Structure 1
Amino acid sequence: MSLWATLNRTVFKRTSTFFLAGAAGTFFFERTFDVISESIFESINKGKLWKDIKHKYEQ
């Protein structure tokens, strides 16, 4: 049985499982995108962020 037939039988056949798969995919995509974006932002701005310079200003 092909991958498409298995996917169609398990996910796309019922609306509830299709919605659940879409919601789960959206959640994991959002978390992955957020983590990657945050790491790129922090690497570009290393040394300029508050967590990097707060020791200079706190007593």
Structure 2
Amino acid sequence: MSILSTLNNAIFKRTSTFALVVVGSVFFFERAFDVVADSIFDKINEGKLWKHIKHNYEK
């Protein structure tokens, strides 16, 4: 049995299962994309954001 055949029988055969897989994949993709985008933004703006300079102004 090939991988495509197994995938077809497990996910694509029923619409409800396919929709559940799509919703779950979108949720995890969105979380991963958000974490990566935030880390890139923090790296580009290092030293300019409040969380990086807060210690200079707090007593």
Q: Report the TM-score, using the length of structure 2 for normalisation.
A: 0.92
Root-mean-square deviation over aligned CA pairs: 0.8
Q: What does residue 24 of structure 2 align with?
A: 24
Q: What CA distance in whole angstroms lies between the structure 2 residues aligned with 1:35 and 1:53? A: 22
Deviation at 1:54, TM superposition (A): 1.2
Q: Which runs of 5+ in 1 are unaligned?
A: none
Q: What CA distance in whole angstroms lies between the structure 2 residues aligned with 1:23 and 1:29? A: 10
The code of the aligned residue for 1:28 comes to: F
Question: After superposition, where does 1:6-21 map in structure 2 within 5 Å?
Answer: 6-21=6-21
Structure 1 stretches of at least 4 aligned residues deviating more than 6 Å after TM superposition:
none
> Identity over the aligned pairs, expressed in percent?
61
Q: How many residues align?
A: 59
Q: Report the TM-score, using the length of structure 1 for normalisation.
A: 0.92
The code of the aligned residue for 1:5 comes to: S
